[in-house]
Amino acid sequence: MSFSFKDLDLSKVEEETGPNSLYIGVGKHEVKITDAAVEQCSNPKHYRVRVNFADKDERTIRNDFNVKNESAKAVEIGMSQFKSLLVSAKHPNPDKPDDVTSLKGLKVMIDVKLGKERDGVRYPEVKGYEAVSETLGDDEIPF
């Protein structure tokens, strides 16, 4: 069976609303950690902590943190970024988080920027973390 473009019928197909409809784009976003796991990388000597985030509209992004690697610099960077996440998300014990599942449900502000070009494309990456600021009630004036 061959394909004919003139027979293409999209009348029952929903339109994609753009790349930010599924994934978190560039900017600052309040997110919740939806999942976190320790994973072995393709090199069996390397491990990472993979953290998945979602915003209120269920758009997602993930970040990986090197926690075991032959490169001491990669581990130093990964651990420093991971500690920043834990502190900003107000983890109860950011120095010794003990159980990776304790990250699930924590809220944090993430700063998403375009990363380095890969295969001709610059993808959004998490570049920083901040604590979620307490929101004021509707009747409170911030000045």
- Give all domains of the chain, ordered by start, each with its CATH number: 23-130 (2.40.50)
- What digits encode the pLDDT tens for the residues 54-71? 999 999 999 999 999 999
Q: Are 140 and 75 in contact, with CB atoms under 8 Å apart?
A: no
Q: Largest Cα–Cα distance of the chain, in whole Å?
A: 69
| CA–CA distance, 94 with 92 (Å, rounded to integer) | 6
Can you name the residues that pair with 63 across neighbouring β-strands? Answer: 51
pTM score: 0.77
| CA–CA distance, 65 with 143 (Å, rounded to integer) | 39
- Whether pLDDT at 143 is above 50: no
- What digits encode the pLDDT tens for the residues 85-104? 999 999 999 999 989 999 99
Alpha helix (H) residue ranges in the chain: 72-88
Q: Work out the burial of residue 19: count CB atoms within 10 Å of its CB; fewer than 13 is exposed, 13-18 middle, 19 or more buried.
A: exposed
The residue written with tokens 């394909």 in the block is: 3
DSSP structure class, residue 42: S
